[in-house]
Amino acid sequence: MSKTIIISNRLPLQLQIDNKTIKATPSVGGLATGMKSVHRDSNGIWIGWTGLTEEEIPADLRDEVVEATIQEQCVPVSLTEEDIDGFYYGFSNRTIWPLFHYFMEYTEFEKESWQSYVTVNQKYAEVVLDNIEEGDTVWVHDYQLMLLPALIKKERPDVQIGFFLHIPFPSYEVFRTLPWREEILKGLLGSDLIGFHTYDYQRHFLSSVSRILRNEVSFNEITLKDRIVTVNSYPMGIDYNKFSEAAAKHDAAKNQSELQRRLDLHIDSTPDAKMILSIDRLDYSKGIANRIRAYEYFLEKYPEFKEKVRLVMLAVPSRSNVPQYQLLKKEVDELVGRINGKFASVSWTPIWYFYRSMPFENLIDLYTTCEVALLTPIRDGMNLVAKEYVATRTDKKGVLILSEMAGAAQEMSEALIINPNNFEEIADALKQAIEMPEAEQIKRNKFLQKRLKRYNVEKWANDFMTSLRDTAHKADIVKAIRMRADQEDEMFETYKKADKRILFLDYDGTLRGFVNNPEDASPDDDLIELVRTIHNQDNTEVVIISGRDRHTLGTWWQDVPITLIAEHGVWKRPVGGEWAVTENLKNDWMDTVRPILEQFVDRTAGTFIEEKNYSLAWHYRNADPDLGEKRASELSNVLKELSANNELGVLDGNKVLEIKDSTIHKGKAVTKHIFGKDYSFKFAIGDDWTDEYMFQDLPDDAFTIKVGLQKTAAKYYVDDTDRVRDLLKKFAAS
């Protein structure tokens, strides 16, 4: 039976060895807590690190460690101390984490830690490959394993691979500073589906792919040589029922809670003080220090709340080998000390601070006891604590104050949304929260709970997995026309037997790859020889059919007496003959259109106009990709409006917009060319939209081939210009 393989840096359980005994505790952090229920309900395995390095496991306990993980449907990846230093504390948490959370000043670019990241990703790949069986689906998680999808795809192209990033994907301007940006993007593109929490992270990623790798990006699809990668956003949910049911039980036995006991100790002091909750891993991205400062500012701005409120702060130890986390710990300790010293009275301590992780029951205790939750991350992929807090408010009372920088803010607009750098706003939100009428609290939480309940973690995982399966169908649709070896053999058999044969060959993107300056794309000697050889075969006609102007084509092919068709069919040079116009065309419209194109050239760096006898083309291959696409669609609209009353048409080619007589296109040119002649073998090959006309207009028995993986009317496709060369060689040898 096929299974889902979940892979993340950490397993959901972390092992410790105490006195030769193995102990397991649940992992902290949103990824582990969220995916745990998905793993529990699926027939799958989870591959990851146990939390113990190879050096920490005595030889006689090795089997037991493996056994302890297997019992939980997990498979361990064995990592050394050096791996953890370079990969986890190094590249993952001193490079990617700060960079992706926009903390550029904390970001280190160290070659050694990058190398460790590569090595450890390879170690994960080995374990995954050992465990994959036919039909399995792979789901890779998070920033520690961004090279893994490509490593798996290389060995197992048959397997569907999904990747989900739990942290933000930064804007291109930030991402581009990474020396290994290409490797990271190529690693991720080994996936069939890439998921993000929000649309903004998704669009940042797509923009980096198109600018750095210059892959074709259309809406949310990236076209590779032989595959399509789909990118989408799936905001992660929580196991809603688990939290709401635990809260309901907890309410029933409230006096059991640790917090309540602690309150009881202070009972004669300020038992009615409103509790403001703050829970996070001790991480600089969570804005903990700022939160404390903002709380101080609140007490100064609204002194009437002294002794009426209390900040209950749980900071969970995290990544404590990284210097920035150690500094943050010191800063938070000092801030808490200073503020408690500054404001405390005999009967009141303004901040209760816990530096540890808490078991689930105690978390529920905190969630249910605190009237307000104050979560102010500077950047946060999602922030599940915000969702968990709302889910535990069984009576729908309580107010969530949430930073707009958390992914969760995009779905939780009924919370009080604040800018974490604006103390004024935070202080006012605290006042508003404390004074909020119950009816309003209930109204806001009702909406929030309804949404969280519906889009829970199960739905999130199902949506992702359904999309992943759909990507398989998508690939099938395109693969259906990929030219297989047997189809190729059949085509060459037909070719050999045919007594009258014609081949229509597009030039740019088909016979030659694209170059930045179109004038540099002249045919190489091999290509000229191949075309000449085919042309010299008996009963064989080769036609190069291009959008290019006749002078360029004529010069390049002056020594090969084949038929040339230029400007999509305006001009034709028959075998051994001279260029002639195929129809009577007008070009007086050019004086009106040229100034418009010139304006677009002025506004869009890297673009230029190509002038032909009967058409004008605006090239934008060298422009910034996003800007180029935007301007192209703008120009296309302007030109279409202008051409509506004329017989002009706008051709949307590969990074080029061409305006010309709409009655002229390659379809019409090939139809005219073969009219009345009885070819028993017809072949056409081309790469862009303008070639679709010939694929559509040639008779059904023609062999039509598209270069590159795109939607097409052609029967088959081949990957690239190298494959076109292979075909030409076979024609030449037939």
Ligand X SMILES: O=P(O)(O)OC[C@H]1O[C@H](O[C@H]2O[C@H](CO)[C@@H](O)[C@H](O)[C@H]2O)[C@H](O)[C@@H](O)[C@@H]1O
Ligand Y SMILES: O=c1ccn([C@@H]2O[C@H](COP(=O)(O)OP(=O)(O)O)[C@@H](O)[C@H]2O)c(=O)[nH]1
Contact residues toward ligand Y (CB under 6 A) are: 28-31, 33, 279, 281, 316, 357-358, 363, 382-385, 388
* Separation between Cα atoms, residue 218 and residue 202, nearest integer Å: 13
* Separation between Cα atoms, residue 378 and residue 489, nearest integer Å: 61
Do the bridges between strand 703-707 and strand 716-718 make them parallel or antiparallel, or are there none, so unpaired?
parallel
Q: Which residues contact 574 (CB under 8 A, 6 or more apart)?
A: 563
* Separation between Cα atoms, residue 176 and residue 734, nearest integer Å: 49
Do residues 585 and 614 make contact, with C-beta atoms less than 8 angstroms apart?
yes
User: Among ligand X, ligand Y, none, what does residue 363 contact (CB within 5–8 Å per kind)?
Assistant: ligand Y
Q: What binding mask, one character per residue, do residues 298-337 give for ligand X by CB under 6 A, x or -? A: --------------------xx------------------
Question: Which segment (187-195, 267-275, 374-382, 622-630) binds ligand X by CB under 6 A?
Answer: 374-382
Nearer to ligand Y, 12 or 509 (CB): 12
User: Among ligand X, ligand Y, none, what does residue 319 contact (CB within 5–8 Å per kind)?
Assistant: ligand X
Do residues 35 and 6 make contact, with C-beta atoms less than 8 angstroms apart?
yes
Nearer to ligand X, 84 or 429 (CB): 84
CA-based nearest residue to 89, from 63, 69, 117: 117
Which of 282, 384, 531, 727: binder of ligand X (CB under 6 A)? 384
Q: What binding mask, one character per residue, do residues 123-142 give for ligand X by CB under 6 A, x or -? A: -------------------x
Q: Does 382 bind ligand X (CB under 6 A)?
A: yes
Nearer to ligand X, 143 or 614 (CB): 143
CA-based nearest residue to 556, from 592, 587, 590, 520: 520
58 sits in the region (left: phi over 0; alpha: psi -120 to 50; else beta) called beta
Q: How far is the CB of 684 from ligand X (least distance, A)?
A: 49
Q: CB 316: neighbour CB atoms within 10 A?
A: 16
User: Among ligand X, ligand Y, none, what does residue 215 contact (CB within 5–8 Å per kind)?
Assistant: none
Q: Does 167 bind ligand X (CB under 6 A)?
A: yes
Q: How far is the CB of 601 from ligand Y (least distance, A)?
A: 48
Assign 3-state DSSP to the chain and report helix, strand, coil percentages, each to 5: 50, 20, 30
CB-closest chain residue to ligand Y: 30
Q: How far is the CB of 645 from ligand Y (least distance, A)?
A: 58
CA-based nearest residue to 378, from 408, 416, 421: 421
CA gyration radius, the chain: 32
203 sits in the region (left: phi over 0; alpha: psi -120 to 50; else beta) called alpha
Nearer to ligand X, 318 or 712 (CB): 318
Q: How far is the CB of 237 from ligand Y (least distance, A)?
A: 11
Nearer to ligand X, 327 or 580 (CB): 327
Which of 236, 292, 543, 570: binder of ligand X (CB under 6 A)? 236
Do residues 290 and 375 make contact, with C-beta atoms less than 8 angstroms apart?
no
Question: Which segment (380-388, 501-509, 602-610, 700-708) binds ligand X by CB under 6 A?
Answer: 380-388
Q: Which residues contact 60 (CB under 8 A, 6 or more apart)?
A: none
Q: How far is the CB of 363 from ligand Y (least distance, A)?
A: 6
Do residues 535 and 561 make contact, with C-beta atoms less than 8 angstroms apart?
yes
* Separation between Cα atoms, residue 401 and residue 291, nearest integer Å: 11
User: Among ligand X, ligand Y, none, what does residue 236 contact (CB within 5–8 Å per kind)?
Assistant: ligand X
Q: How far is the CB of 625 from ligand Y (least distance, A)?
A: 32
506 is known as an active-site residue: yes
* Separation between Cα atoms, residue 433 and residue 689, nearest integer Å: 58
User: How many residues in the chain?
Assistant: 734
Q: Does 34 bind ligand X (CB under 6 A)?
A: yes
Query: For the chain, give me the number of helices (H) and strands (E)?
Result: 26, 29
Q: Does 47 bind ligand X (CB under 6 A)?
A: no
User: Among ligand Y, ligand X, none, what does residue 607 contact (CB within 5–8 Å per kind)?
Assistant: none
Query: Crossing angle of helices 181-188/148-155, nearest 10°?
Result: 50
HSE-up of 192 (CA within 13 Å, CB side)? 25
Q: Does 394 bind ligand X (CB under 6 A)?
A: no
Q: How many residues bind ligand X (CB under 6 A)?
A: 18
Q: How far is the CB of 118 from ligand X (least distance, A)?
A: 19
Do residues 360 and 246 make contact, with C-beta atoms less than 8 angstroms apart?
yes
Q: How far is the CB of 369 from ligand Y (least distance, A)?
A: 15
Nearer to ligand Y, 363 or 378 (CB): 363
CA-based nearest residue to 695, from 481, 480, 474: 481
CA-based nearest residue to 316, from 283, 277, 284: 283
Nearer to ligand Y, 409 or 709 (CB): 409
Question: Which segment (28-36, 183-191, 237-245, 489-497) binds ligand X by CB under 6 A?
Answer: 28-36
Nearer to ligand X, 166 or 673 (CB): 166
Q: What binding mask, one character per residue, do residues 664-703 give for ligand X by CB under 6 A, x or -? A: ----------------------------------------
- Strand pairing partners for 352? 312
Q: How far is the CB of 606 from ligand X (least distance, A)?
A: 38
Residue in 136, 142, 380, 506 annotated catalytic:
506
Nearer to ligand X, 381 or 667 (CB): 381
Helix/strand/coil for 623: coil
User: Among ligand Y, ligand X, none, what does residue 316 contact (CB within 5–8 Å per kind)?
Assistant: ligand Y
CA-based nearest residue to 83, from 95, 91, 75, 73: 91
Question: Which segment (323-331, 353-361, 379-387, 642-650) binds ligand X by CB under 6 A?
Answer: 379-387
Q: How far is the CB of 103 from ligand Y (least distance, A)?
A: 14
Which of 4, 12, 30, 140: binder of ligand X (CB under 6 A)? 30
Q: Which residues contact 91 (CB under 8 A, 6 or more apart)?
A: 110, 113, 114, 116, 117
- Give the H/E segment covering residue 317: none
User: Among ligand Y, ligand X, none, what does residue 142 contact (CB within 5–8 Å per kind)?
Assistant: ligand X
Do residues 519 and 621 make contact, with C-beta atoms less than 8 angstroms apart?
no
Q: Does 379 bind ligand X (CB under 6 A)?
A: no
Q: How far is the CB of 93 from ligand X (least distance, A)?
A: 7
Nearer to ligand X, 31 or 684 (CB): 31
User: Among ligand Y, ligand X, none, what does residue 10 contact (CB within 5–8 Å per kind)?
Assistant: ligand X
Q: Which residues contact 558 (CB under 8 A, 6 or more apart)?
A: none
* Separation between Cα atoms, residue 614 and residue 665, nearest integer Å: 12
Nearer to ligand Y, 29 or 190 (CB): 29
* Separation between Cα atoms, residue 334 and residue 338, nearest integer Å: 6
Task: List residues with catalytic annotation.
Answer: 506
Residues that bind ligand X (CB under 6 A): 9-10, 29-32, 34, 142, 166-167, 236, 318-319, 380-384
